[in-house]
């Protein structure tokens, strides 16, 4: 009977690790007003982000009455190019939202939108915020070019409708999106 004790434990451990590795973690933020100086995440949200091993970049500015509503972290099973996090920011009345997304690799160029807004980031340099139809959006939305070093990780501003997590709210103004994008800083 002792012969089977370890293989069963090993098999169940492997199953648990495989399920965890391919599942996204969603950690909600308690709704509380934030100031525009430093946007804080809960210790649990930070722990989830740090567990990915990606360099964390967050905005140091968000519009008044916005807070980090959700942190979604996911890791694929096959390679490091599938590490990803998405931080969804929402206002207190839950009618406006946006996200900051990070991926470890596998990005491509973003086609130009119907309108472009310049971004001049102190850490990522010059880029653009595009207004157009992207992802799942049914109406024009906001999406920035990817930012980051040559080998990643990469970051971007994501407007409403681009992905399901951002489908039940409206965009901030392009000017606010640029201001948020230009405030992105690495977390120590």
E strand segments, the chain: 25-28, 57-59, 66-74, 84-91, 97-103, 115-121, 125-132, 141-144, 147-148, 154-158, 184-186
Average pLDDT, the chain: 79
96/101 Cα distance (integer angstroms): 17
Q: 104-149 pLDDT, tens per residue?
A: 888 888 888 999 999 999 999 999 999 999 888 888 999 999 999 8
For residues 178 and 159, the answer to whether their CB atoms sit within 8 Å is no
pTM metric for this prediction: 0.78
Q: Which two tokens stand for residue 12?
A: 């169940």
E strand segments, 46-121: 57-59, 66-74, 84-91, 97-103, 115-121
> What are the residues whose beta carbons fall under 8 Å from the beta carbon of 137, sequence distance 6 or more?
159, 160, 161, 162
- Tell me the percentage of the chain whose pLDDT exceeds 70: 77
* pLDDT over 70 at 46, yes or no: yes
pLDDT at 79: 54
Alpha-carbon torsion 183, 106, 136, 23, what sign? negative
Q: Please state the domain extents for the chain.
A: 23-186
């Amino acid at each position: 009977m002792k012969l089977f004790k370890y293989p069963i434990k090993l098999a169940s451990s492997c199953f648990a690790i495989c399920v965890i590795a391919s599942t996204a973690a969603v950690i909600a933020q308690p709704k509380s007003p934030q100031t525009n100086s430093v946007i804080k995440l809960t210790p649990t949200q930070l722990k989830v982000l740090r567990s990915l091993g990606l360099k964390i970049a967050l905005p140091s500015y968000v519009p008044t009455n916005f807070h980090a509503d959700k942190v979604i972290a996911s890791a694929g099973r096959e390679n490091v190019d599938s590490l990803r996090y998405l931080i969804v920011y929402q206002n207190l009345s839950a009618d406006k939202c946006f996200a900051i997304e990070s991926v470890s690799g596998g990005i491509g160029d973003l086609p130009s939108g119907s309108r472009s807004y310049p971004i001049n980031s102190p850490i990522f340099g010059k880029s653009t915020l595009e207004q157009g139809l992207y992802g799942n959006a049914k109406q024009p939305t906001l999406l920035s070019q990817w930012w980051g070093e040559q080998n990643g990780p990469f970051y971007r501003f994501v407007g409403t409708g681009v992905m399901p997590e951002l489908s039940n709210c409206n965009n901030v103004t392009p000017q606010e999106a640029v201001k948020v994008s230009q405030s992105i800083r690495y977390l120590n």
